[in-house]
Amino acid sequence: MNTATNHTPSVPMDVQLECQHNLIEFMGHFDMDEFDAMEAYLAPDAVWVRADGVLHGAADLRAWAAKRQPGILVRHVLSNFRCRAISVTEVHVDSYCMVFRKDMQPGDKTPASMSGPVLMGRYADVMRQVNGRWLIAHKSVQLDFKLV
């Protein structure tokens, strides 16, 4: 590879780790139905492009969570984080995402039965530095595999 033509600025390791940590925490709170706690990881003007619609900011997240079907057991496995600088205050993070989901019925207990991950894809996140913290400014997913 000719490094002379590679002009993508590197992202400092502490920034990479904070971005990864915040993305993991955000999805971890999602998996535990801790939707209020997710708000701390969103930039004020955050956009989350989901398969079921686009959420703009914490208010849309709260409205979406209030309408969410109860009894959904979901777990996200995130890996292969790759960061690249967009600017001094924005970092693009690509990661792989594997999702397990079970629609639990009343009386169902864990461990839930499973047939495998329901999907595998890639998250594309733009993290923005806001008041010294790296927060999600834009989140989207590209599906590569889906259980049929």
The yes-or-no verdict on residue 136 having pLDDT over 80 is yes
31 contact partners, CB below 8 Å, separation of at least 6? 74, 75, 76
Tell me if 3 sits within 8 A of 77, measured CB to CB.
Answer: no
Position 7 scores a pLDDT of 55
Rounded to whole angstroms, the Cα distance separating 48 from 132 reads 21
b or e along 71-93 (b: 16 or more beta carbons within 10 Å of the residue's beta carbon)?
Answer: eebebbebeebebeeeeeeebbb
Tell me what the pLDDT averaged over the chain comes to. 92
Rounded to whole angstroms, the Cα distance separating 27 from 93 reads 14
Average pLDDT over residues 111-129: 93
The yes-or-no verdict on residue 5 having pLDDT over 70 is no
Using one digit for the tens of pLDDT, what is the confidence trace for 79-111?
999 999 999 999 999 999 999 999 888 888 888
- Domains of the chain as residue ranges with CATH: 7-106+113-146 (3.10.450.50)
H-run or E-run covering 27: helix 13-31
Q: What three-state secondary structure class fits 84?
A: strand
1 vs 146, which has greater pLDDT? 146
Using one digit for the tens of pLDDT, what is the confidence trace for 104-117?
888 888 888 888 89
Token digits of residue 66: 């209030």
Token digits of residue 2: 């000719």
The yes-or-no verdict on residue 142 having pLDDT over 50 is yes
